[in-house]
Amino acid sequence: MSATAQKSSSLNDKDFIRYSRQIFLPEVGEAGLLQLKQCHVVIIGCGGLGQLAAQYLACAGIGSITLVDDDRVELSNLPRQLLFNEADIGQYKAWVAKQKLAVLAPDCQLFAFVQMLTLDSAESLLAHVATANRQQSALLLDCTDNLAARHCINQLCIEHALPLVSASIAAFNGQLFAVDQQRFPAGGCYHCVFPADTYAPQNCSNQGVLGPSVGVMASMQALLAIQLLLTATVPNLEHSTKPQAVGAEHLLGRFWRFDAKSLQWHSARLTRDPECEVCAPSWNTNTDHVLKSVHKGELL
């Protein structure tokens, strides 16, 4: 067994101390932490949601994180984007986040893509994910505030069988759900809930938002991602080292709404739209379909 393989199949003393509170949970344990170390999370959007979810995931022991955003830090970001400060203003969020996450979680392998999400850039991103995914279980986090970008991310995840956790927050209204066509195809996709011709939702740039509301949604997004990763099948993890966590399929195919005024959560069961042009069964055989356009928009 190579040194790399040995390192990935056991925890050292520092790991046991650093992650002891997670390891105490029977749903995680030593096996669960080993599993998280074999996972790769791609975070699209490094603003309010993305930078906080990235901190939780990196510090939870996720092995690799890729950060995607072409936006720069602005003064108006600071009340809710706590990874940044005034010295970071004008710098690219993805690069700043990578540098600061490396300090918070030195064992996490970090990548940064400073680019707008378009069809062309998505292909290069997927090539990057595919390379990492040969040895790791991959998952995407949609932390954007742009409807066109969300539809693009959703379609890419459906086409390439990648699990997706999507969250958003504007004013006092938060939304959260996960898509995984491999594990729960009956749950549909983002397009089933919000067709492409849906009126573009408001975002925090024009509706406003309170920082703690963003924190709630980012925390829930990271928590949902961790639970899905703990129960995923990791290519190079021996069956005997699987964590004890029960399947997370009950978390798939559900749509959560958070009312930050009343502090109430509401959830609904989702089902696939049989006419959905993205995830309906006929999609896999429709080789002529292409995404017509992806409008440029600011990532959160």
Catalytic residue among 108, 192, 204, 276: 204
Q: Is 192 a catalytic residue?
A: no
CA distance 85 to 75: 8
SS3 annotation, the chain? CCHHHHHHCCCCHHHHHHCHHHHCCCCCHHHHHHHHHCEEEEEECCCHHHHHHHHHHHHCCCCEEEEECCCECCHHHCCCCCCCCHHHCCCEHHHHHHHHHHHHCCCCEEEEECCCCCHHHHHHHHHHHHHHHCCCEEEEEECCCCHHHHHHHHHHHHHCCCCEEEEEEEECEEEEEEECCCCCHHHCCHHHHCCCCCCCCCCHHHHCECHHHHHHHHHHHHHHHHHHHHCCCCCCCCHHHCCCCCCCHHHCCEEEEEECCCCEEEEEECCCCCCCCCCCHHHHHCCCCCCCCCCCCCCC
CA pair distance 252, 163, nearest whole angstrom: 10
Sign of the Cα torsion 64, 157, 154, 126 reads positive
Longest pairwise C-alpha distance within the chain: 55
Residues that are catalytic? 204
